[in-house]
Amino acid sequence: MSFKVSATYQGARAASLATNHGILQTPFFMPIATRGAVKHLANSDFATIQNQILLANTYHLYLRPGLEVLKKCGGLHGLMNWQKPILTDSGGFQVFSLAALRKITPDYVIFNSHIDGRELKFTPELSMEIQAAIGSDIQMCFDYFSGYPATRKETEYSVKLTTAWAKRCKYYLSLSSGHPSPNRGGKEGEVFGIVQGGTFPDLRKQSAQELVNIGFNGYAIGGLAVGETPQEMYTMIEAAVPELPADKPRYLMGVGQPEQILEAVKLGVDMFDCVLPTRNARHGQVYIHPSPLRRGEGGEVVAPDLSMVNYQKINLTGSVYATDLQPLDSYCQCSTCTSGYSRAYLRHLFSVNEALAQRLATVHNVYFYVQLMRDIRAIIMKSSHL
């Protein structure tokens, strides 16, 4: 079995998830490399951040560089020279949010590329084919996101299509050719279904049940963090999680602020991705610790419970930082905070619009998120009831 829970505490769990490119320790955060790069970061940065995995996007990589390049270059692992796991979103969310939709039928979606307007047709099968060419270790079923807000009727339709398309994805992978990509060493990779259901708890339950009946290696909760309140989001997670098998990983897509991630971890979620650390960094917003986490002699976090998320967001473009010679975050071990860079320098770089500002802030914010998950896992492991 590729997923093994080794500790639980306060509803949270720590587990291991085996993939074609190594074993992941949950809970974990996935920096977003939509088009095959986390904006501004190189592999040398990942080596110091020590993120376990990257997330890439099927829709974007299909448009550029395209299937042919991916196939010839050893998939995204080969193209990026990244040898750890890659998860790919199916492209569903992007087709329904970025592109100009032309036509949607139960069989296919026709839309115009957001780049050059050319007309493209997506099917669940094509999404799986692209993810195979990418060589994705954890691939998502092609899902239908109904937008936010959505009526009950629209949401029912999105659950219906999402289930039907999930079946087609699974069938496609089960064909004798199997479509295991040479880019993943001839193996299939993990396949996750995506729970839809908008802000309707019963539809969330239904969607989860239907996907579990099909059977996947893991389950994502999609269509959240799109405008609803955090409380609505938590309610939807609470509706879906009990329907999902305890022995499979759960992935909350696109969430969120650190306290939201922690809350979701306590609700039993194992995997996260979010644009906030990278996008905020590019605008000078960084996450810092106002005080140190208590740590033991080996550097491990010592905390009474999971209420250890204690952070501040500061905006480095403020003039208050013009002569502030402190590091970004005195309690952070990222390369930006430990290489002698000051807030004053970062503030100057942002004020003159130097790309280095975005690079240094991105390194810090991504490290902050990845370290947060390491700390959460350490607390679960230490306090486990198992």
**Count helices and strands in the chain by DSSP H and E runs:** 14, 16
Q: Nearest approach, Cβ of 39 to a second copy (angstroms)?
A: 6
Q: Nearest approach, Cβ of 87 to a second copy (angstroms)?
A: 19
Q: Which residues bind a second copy (CB under 8 A)?
A: 35-37, 39-44, 60, 64-65, 68-69, 72-74, 78-81, 322-323, 325, 335, 339-342, 344-345, 348-349, 351-352, 354-356, 358-360
Q: Nearest approach, Cβ of 46 to a second copy (angstroms)?
A: 11
How far, CA to CA in Å, does 370 sit from each of 17, 49, 141?
A: 17, 7, 26
Residue 24 sits at φ, ψ, to 5 deg, of -100, 140
- How far, in Å, CA of 318 to CA of 285, rounded? 10
* Catalytic option among 45, 137, 273, 329: 273
Nearer CB in complex with a second copy: 13/359:
359
Q: What are the E-state strand segments in the chain?
A: 3-9, 12-19, 22-25, 28-30, 54-57, 86-89, 100-104, 109-112, 119-122, 138-140, 190-195, 218-221, 250-252, 271-273, 285-288, 312-315
Q: Nearest approach, Cβ of 253 to a second copy (angstroms)?
A: 22
* Catalytic option among 89, 137, 143, 329: 89
Nearer CB in complex with a second copy: 46/200:
46
**Looking at residue 32, what DSSP letter applies?**
B
Q: Which two tokens stand for residue 124?
A: 């669940």
39 Cβ neighbours under 8 A, 6+ residues apart: 278, 282, 358, 362
Tell me, yes or no, if 273 is annotated catalytic: yes
Nearer CB in complex with a second copy: 127/358:
358
Tell me, yes or no, if 89 is annotated catalytic: yes
- How far, in Å, CA of 363 to CA of 366, rounded? 6
Q: Nearest approach, Cβ of 37 to a second copy (angstroms)?
A: 5
- How far, in Å, CA of 189 to CA of 351, rounded? 45
Residue 43 sits at φ, ψ, to 5 deg, of -60, -30
Comparing CA positions, the residue from 268, 280, 278, 276 lying closest to residue 306 is 268
Nearer CB in complex with a second copy: 300/324:
324
Note whether 192 and 237 are within 8 A (CB): no
Nearer CB in complex with a second copy: 266/282:
282
Q: Nearest approach, Cβ of 355 to a second copy (angstroms)?
A: 5
Nearer CB in complex with a second copy: 60/170:
60
Positions annotated as catalytic residues are 89, 273
